[in-house]
Chain A
Amino acid sequence: MEYLDRNLLWQSDSLSGAIQRSKVLIAGVGGLGWQIGASLVGLGVQRFSIFDPDPLEAVNLNRLWGCSLQMAGKSKVELFADLTKGVSQDIQINTYAQSIPSEAFELELADSDVIFGGFDAPEPRLATQVLAKKHKKLYIDAGVTIKCGQAGLSGTGQVFRYRGGYDESCASGHSQACILCAGLGLNNKGYLDEQAKPLPSSGVLNGILGQLAVSTWLKILQQENVPDMLYFNWNNFNLIPVWSLPVKPDCPLCFEDAET
């Protein structure tokens, strides 16, 4: 796998081995998921399953590098798979042009080591979190917000890491906080009601948050501590780690954790 040679100059054997053994599910290959997926291919991930119900549209081309107008109308997951196969035919990739949740999604999630989420709607995001918890999977979710009509770089984003029983520390209950507990709401883009489209988008901000999400996973693979959430302000470049998000006692998604 010559395309990975430069990685081996900085990845330890254990890290490259962990990357190549991992099965990764990407839920949503829009602006964020596409960036995440491209980085994971470059890192050496060999097994993917990807879900997105939407076809490519011309308006996606500001953030889906590698696509072209001629591809409009084709399924995003198939386009992503084609580009991936162009890097290496050995990469296994299961594609599903369908909504979340579904039986196929749950089966793939249960068989994956990590789930990356890059959604533009709240329901599949929370559903993925609930299923990640059910199957005790690591879920790394990225979201961005760009304010309409604002001057400058009026954008924010966050990477939310949900352990879902992934490691020992979550047994204490304090780090199982979910997206609702984190206080993220529909005013955070990526959590918006789908009726609110069209929304502003930027491949630049997606790229920053996408790379932070992937970097979060790399640090976890190296057994390093990572914050429950990373908050990024595009305007002033502040990157704020939130190390421990408490479970809210009345959270309908986490209530059984709060009770124990």
Chain B
Amino acid sequence: MQKLKFIQRCLNEISSEYPQAELIEGDRYCPLLGVRIRNFELPTTIVEDTVDVLVPMPMCGGYFREAYISGVHVAQRLHVNFEGENSPLPFCIEATERDLVAMKTYYPLYRCIDRVPERYVICLYTETDQPRTPLQAIHLFSRYLAFYLENCRHIAAQRSADPKWLSHLVEGLSPRLKADFLAHAAR
């Protein structure tokens, strides 16, 4: 079930910045499954120019901080040019059907995954630091893409105490860059 007033507020927020956003409608108790923004312009730090972005809307359970809130969906793996190499963007993960179905408790969109052609998810959030509205998720997504290249080493150094997070951060890099990155983070 969705909290209608809150969903309406979220939708108003998104519409104010993205008036062309497409609504993916649901049923009586979950009327808005998600919003899709066509031709979302990506920052120059990303190899791809534009993508369609799909943002799932939460059910009530999706507001739990530990609910492993979903990220923003895109249809393809995104890439960054990292020191001369086109590398897959970290945290841009291809979600399996099983991954998505596991999240259907929190996101009604995943009850009908045939309506989710965008199977790559960019999930950036920690349990305690999550966007409170879908628009915040879009903003975080944009900031992440824009600043990843210039800030990733600094971020890694800050987060070096969390090996799981760090391993995600370097998962798409070539072995050489990965070793270089980890060495930098460990300093």
Contacts and interface: CB of A to CB of B under 8 A. Distances in A.
A256 B5 contact: yes
Contacts of B59: 123, 126-127
Given A101-B1, A122-B61, A123-B106, A255 B6 contact: yes
Nearest to B133: A252
Given A101-B1, A123-B1, A130-B1, A180 B105 contact: no
A27 B1 CA distance: 15
Interface string B65-95: 1110000000000000000000000000000
B60 A123 contact: yes
Contact of B3 (A103, A185, A191, A253): A253
A122 B64 contact: yes
Nearest to B6: A252
A220 B67 CA distance: 33
Interface string A91-131: 00000000001110000000000000000011100110111
Interface residues of A, number: 25
A115 to B, nearest CB: 14
Contacts of B105: 121-123, 193-195
Interface string B17-43: 000000000001100000000000000
Interface string A122-157: 110011011100000000000000000000000000
B115 interface: no
A253 B1 contact: no
A82 interface: no
B132 interface: yes
Contacts of B9: 255
A176 to B, nearest CB: 14
Contact of B1 (A121, A126, A194, A255): A126
A248 to B, nearest CB: 11
Interface string B103-125: 00110000000000000000000
Nearest to B108: A123
A180 B64 CA distance: 7
A223 interface: no
B142 to A, nearest CB: 21
Given A252-B132, A255-B6, A256-B5, A187 B66 contact: yes
Contacts of A256: 5
Interface string A179-194: 0100001110001011
5 contacts: A122-B64, A127-B1, A127-B59, A130-B1, A253-B63
Interface of A: 101-103, 121-123, 126-127, 129-131, 180, 185-187, 191, 193-195, 250-253, 255-256
Q: What 3 A-B pairs come out closest when comparing CB atoms?
A: A126-B60, A127-B1, A123-B61
Given A126-B1, A126-B59, 9 more contacts: A123-B61, A123-B105, A130-B1, A130-B60, A180-B63, A186-B66, A195-B105, A253-B63, A255-B9
